Structure 1
Amino acid sequence: MENKIEQRKALNLLGLARKAGKLTTGQDLVLAAIRSGKAKVVLMANDCGQSTQKKFTDKCKSYDVALTTEFTKQELSAAIGAKRSLIAVTDPGFGKKIRQLLFS
């Protein structure tokens, strides 16, 4: 039960980060954010394609960026108000709080 509450809080924070302009979405932009060191945490839908999952799992490991696949495309899309399966949080404050909620 508590895990669901933490997940809901993380999704709510994503919505706030979107409004604040602290998110990057889409494969090319998220990849650029990872490579440049701007991505603090990456959220990837657990129902996206296998090649996408492998590509971003490997990139996040290589660049030491936190990655979670706890959410579906529908959950991520609803949280930010746009149809997306890959999101990078670029703000250190939002990134830290989301990591605390999802990885602790």
Structure 2
Amino acid sequence: MKQEQWISLLGLASRARKLISGEELVVKEVRSKNAKLVLLSLDASKNTEKKISDKCAFYNVPLKRIESRTVLGQAIGKDARVTVAVLDEGFARKLLTLLD
């Protein structure tokens, strides 16, 4: 049940243009402190995983793991996505409760 909830919420955030996907863009948003939550797929490359988790740790941005890039992509109505940053505090807070 919770699975569908976070997926539809992420889709909603996407339609509201409150998220960004793609490694470089996510890193940029984390750096500029716009990212409120970062989602990273478990099948991300070691390199990407390290880069994203280090950035999130340094800038104190919560990071949650999602089972696959396919699920993450489908949730926002796009092709497979390895990482997504949520730019809205409200969406981020709600997603955090659903993903715990």
Counterpart of 1:71, as a letter, is E
Q: Larger helix proportion, structure 1 or 2? A: 1
TM (norm. structure 1) is 0.90
- For the aligned residues, what is the CA RMSD? 1.0
Q: How does 1:59-74 map to 2 (within 5 A)?
A: 59-74=55-70
Tell me the matched-pair count: 99
- 1:88 — aligned with what? 85
1: distance between equivalents of 2:68 and 2:4?
13
Could you tell me how far apart the structure 2 residues matched to 1:16 and 1:70 are? 17
Identity in percent: 41
CA distance, structure 2, for counterparts of residue 68 and residue 44 of structure 1:
6
Flag as ranges the 4+ runs of structure 1 deviating above 6 A.
Answer: none
Q: Is the 8 A contact 2:66 2:72 kept in 1?
A: no
Deviation sequence 1:55-91 (CA, Å, 0-9, x none): 1111111111110113311101111111211100001
Q: Which runs of 5+ in 2 are unaligned?
A: none
TM-score, normalisation: structure 2: 0.93
Distance 2:45 2:39 in 1: 14
User: Which ranges of structure 1 fall in alignment gaps of 5 or more residues?
Assistant: none
Q: Give the aligned residue type for 1:50.
A: K
Distance in 1 (alpha carbons) for counterparts of 2:93 and 2:37: 8
In the TM superposition, what is the alpha-carbon distance from 1:101 to its structure 2 partner? 1.2
Residue of 87, 90, 102 corresponding to 2:99: 102
